[in-house]
Chain A
Amino acid sequence: MSVKIEASHDGIPHNKVMVIGAVISLVSLYIAILGTTLGVDYLAFFGGIAAIGALIWGNSTIKKLCSYGIGTGVPSAGMLAFGSGVIALLFASTLSGISIWIVPVAALILGLVVGLFLGWISNSVLNMKIPVMTRSLAELAAVGSLALMGLGAVATGFVGFMDIATFDFLGVTVYNASYLGAGIIAVSFMLGAIALQHPFNACLGPGEKQDRTNMLAIECGFLSMIVMAVISFAFVSLIAAWISLIVAVIGWGVSYVKYVALSKRDAASWLDAKPFSDSEE
């Protein structure tokens, strides 16, 4: 049951990727929070960078976990990560009543705690007997909560519970048009979960290379960020939304071109099948 198949030997070790991803994510979230405390919202796009940092980390974790053959497919890991992550995230965001600065670290720690429970359950009660299971599920829950917080910061510019639960409409505070009340968190839930599970699911196999998988993770992150940037037109100022959208589109374009180049590098051969055949030739 727990026969390990090495996904890829090359590249950066998992612990290093984890630290890099977590640091990128936390620093970007703090820059986004710094923007809101200064009263400007054009730093909201750093939430997208935070989500991408978390996705790179989660992608490496999924690679480690799924090399054991968990039997349910890679997508289930992404769904579990965000299912537990959203619970940790929303509790962490309520701690903004104490101080806004503890919210990202609280999301990380709460995600790890909830994930540790789930990892222990699957390893001991469900008898999975996979050595990295407990650690991986703990990491995935933390990734889910950080990525969701980042996507939420892109859409609304805020991470605190009161700010994402209320919406000022022509000077009147309403709840049903807010990030939570209007259910936009469900959109970011699915966007994040798909961006987390897709890269390794698409790249796995004997020819899997770490840099190509990571580039696809970055590309998926920017793709999710585009949608959140479009949604952010309803919540943040016009200039902030345009900045988010332009950063997301440029980031997606660059990472997509790089990903295609890496795919061509790793392919045995490739044929440029044009969408329309030239009838003149």
Chain B
Amino acid sequence: MSAIAAKPGANAGAFQPVPSVIAIVLAIILVVVAYFLGSAGILAGGAMLVLQTLCLIILGAALIAFGVHFVPVGGAPAAMGQAPGIATGVAMLATGAGLAGLFGGAWAAELGLGVALASGAIGGALMMAITCLMVNISYVFGMGIPAASGKVLKDPITGDLQAAYKSQGTEGHGLPFISYVGGVIGGLFGGLGGTLIYIELLNFYNVGLPALGFVGAEGINMLAVGLAGIFAIGMFLVIAVLSAYNITGTIEGPHDPKFKRFPRAIVAAILASAVCGLVAMLVVALF
């Protein structure tokens, strides 16, 4: 293909090898720095706890970044029934689904890691399932439009034809079945990742705060809950918005061609969460 034939911005979805490698190397350097801070005693709890916390924070962030790509984000065109998806931006949708999951997981934090992660994932998925259902109800019964995708001819799961129901001049409208399923999967991953970040930070602060001179186990737990909660919310929003930049605002679900861009978002999430996670852990550093 000649350079003239290439559309401007055609490589917007391309994977960037050099910056991605730099990003991964930077993230590894930050993890190593955290390890040495832990072994030097600046971060409480020892090197292994520090390493485990930061690595699982990075894993949680990668899950969030992956999950955002499943959620059918429609934006303003969807509000006018001209594009499929839920009629709002990623920032709002990811906050809704992720925080619902995070709160669900936080309530179950005392019951162990497995139960907390499961309830976080189910909380996020339930939130997205209810949102998608109500969105379709208001599209179908309120605006009087059927659900049809503009990106694929057949629904990959049900095999229903899409083109026959698509209005002229639009990119599709409503939430087709594949978008609904994508939304639920996105909520599942988002809630899981958010809860993982929260639980890891909570455990770390429960060890780190007494070393700073805070006394009284029950009060410290409350303080750790507050700190871990606000950091998990902050990191969740950062990762979700970076993933939204990756899909340039709107996506239909897992069948959308933009879905293939997810490796970039995962690389971005790894470095962003390494930076944010290390700074968040340094809050309880002993200087």
Q: Which residues of A contact B (CB under 8 A)?
A: 1, 70-73, 75-77, 79-80, 82-88, 90-91, 94-95, 97-98, 110, 114, 117-118, 121-122, 124-129, 161, 165, 174-176, 178, 180-183, 185-186, 189
Contacts and interface: CB of A to CB of B under 8 A. Distances in A.
A83 B219 CA distance: 26
A73 B231 contact: no
A87 B280 contact: yes
Contact of A114 (B20, B220, B279, B287): B279
A114 B214 contact: no
Given A126-B268, A175-B216, A82 B283 contact: no
A80 B241 contact: yes
B223 interface: yes
Contacts of B11: 127
B222 A175 contact: yes
A128 B284 CA distance: 35
B245 A126 contact: yes
Contacts of A117: 271-272, 275
A186 B282 CA distance: 20
A180 B264 CA distance: 34
B231 A90 contact: yes
A180 B219 CA distance: 12
Contacts of B285: 94
Contact of A1 (B9, B218, B246, B279): B9
Given A76-B89, A90-B283, A126-B264, A83 B12 contact: no
A76 to B, nearest CB: 4
Among A71, A91, A97, A125, the most chain B Cβ lie within 10 Å of the Cβ of A125
A62 to B, nearest CB: 13
Given A71-B248, A178-B223, A183 B230 contact: yes
B145 interface: no
Contacts of A80: 237-238, 241-242
B233 A71 contact: no
B265 A126 contact: yes
B279 A79 contact: no
Contacts of A128: 245
Interface of B: 9, 11-12, 14, 16, 19-20, 22-23, 75-76, 89-92, 95, 214, 216, 218-220, 222-223, 225-227, 229-231, 233-238, 240-242, 244-246, 248-250, 264-265, 267-268, 271-272, 275-276, 279-280, 282-285, 287
Contacts of A86: 230-231, 233-234
Nearest to B90: A72
Given A72-B248, A126-B268, A189 B279 contact: no
Given A90-B230, A117-B271, A176-B219, 14 more contacts: A73-B91, A76-B241, A76-B244, A80-B237, A84-B276, A87-B276, A91-B280, A91-B282, A94-B284, A94-B285, A125-B16, A181-B223, A183-B229, A189-B234
Nearest to B76: A73
A97 B287 contact: yes
Given A76-B91, A114-B275, A189-B230, A83 B264 contact: no
